[in-house]
Amino acid sequence: MFYFRVPFIYAPKYDFTTSKHWVVHLACMCHSFHYLKRLLETLFVHRFSHGTMPLRNIFKNCTYYWGFAAWMAYYINHPLYTPPPKHINQFNMHCFPCVLPNSRSKTRKIPYPTKNPFTWIFLLVSCPNYTYELGSWFGFTLMTQCLPVAFFTAVGFIQMTVWAKGKHRSYLKEFRDYPPLRSPILPFVL
């Protein structure tokens, strides 16, 4: 809706126009790819500890993600959006592959790095998927330099930290030989 500037969102003179800024198009592609990748991971990669999700969580999650997506998209796709200066080094890390080895396995075991270099972060953190997710949104924030994106990144970081700490604690309880140098989400910090 926002990317294609459908009527009633911005001024009528902008209906169905496209942005002249490459970062707007790149942001749309990155955001769309991120959630497509997430859906595919949910279907084919992740193993969830709890069998069902309470109905209230579905409404809460949908409100959170759709609400933030609309808020971010409104400003990134706004006809008056000003992209960051070209001299600022921008990057985006929305293309990280899945780093959860054997995550569909029914037996619980300590995750360790494999030959895949993206799994090497398991040497330092218990939840590299959250570390990479944070990196992705931090990169998206730098790329767009949009306040709603920065706010979404901060809120997401807080929530992922809560989840990572919980998972880290459960690993420590469950496995006596759990690597002591691992942090929940940020190496050596948190």
Return the pLDDT at 58. Answer: 82
Overall domain count for the chain: 1
In a domain, 33, yes or no: yes
Global pTM value: 0.81
In a domain, 153, yes or no: yes
DSSP 55: H
In a domain, 106, yes or no: yes
Domain that includes residue 37, residue range: 20-46+56-174
The letter for the amino acid at 189 is V
Give the integer Cα–Cα distance in Å for 79 and 77: 6
Output the tens digit of pLDDT for each of the chain's 190 residues.
Answer: 999 999 999 999 999 999 999 999 999 999 999 989 888 887 887 666 655 667 788 888 889 999 999 999 999 999 999 988 765 545 444 544 455 554 555 677 888 888 988 889 999 999 998 999 999 999 999 999 999 999 999 999 999 999 999 999 999 999 999 998 999 999 998 8
